[in-house]
Amino acid sequence: MARLNQLSVISYQLSVISYQLSVISYQLSVISYQLSVISYQLSVISYQLSVISYQLSVISYQLSEDCFYLFFPIHNS
């Protein structure tokens, strides 16, 4: 009888451990989802920054061209 009680206690403890592991697994899946969302948002931000960088380089080129013609005007003959 004592052996049966001991086995039922062990069985109960194992079921509790199994439940805790399933909760941990669920929490990890939620964290994984949140990280994938963050990763997507960062990739969008990275793309937007690259577009801004390109636009700034175009503006910089135009300004340097304007400065060149300001200091070295071209005269039509």
Residue 48 counted as domain residue: yes
Pull the structure tokens for residue 2. Answer: 């004592």
Considering its fold, how many domains does the chain have in total?
Answer: 1
Residue 71 has a pLDDT of 83
Residue 73 has a pLDDT of 76
Task: Say which DSSP state 77 is in.
Answer: -
Pull the structure tokens for residue 42. Answer: 């960062």
Task: Say which DSSP state 72 is in.
Answer: S
What's this model's pTM, rounded to 2 decimal places? 0.66
Residue 49 counted as domain residue: yes
Residue 4 counted as domain residue: no
Q: pLDDT tens digit string along 3-52?
A: 889 999 999 999 999 999 999 999 999 999 999 999 999 999 999 999 99
Residue 74 has a pLDDT of 73
Confidence at 75, pLDDT banded by 50, 70, 90 = low
Q: What is the domain range of residue 50?
A: 37-72
SS3 label, residue 35? helix
d(CA 43, CA 32): 16
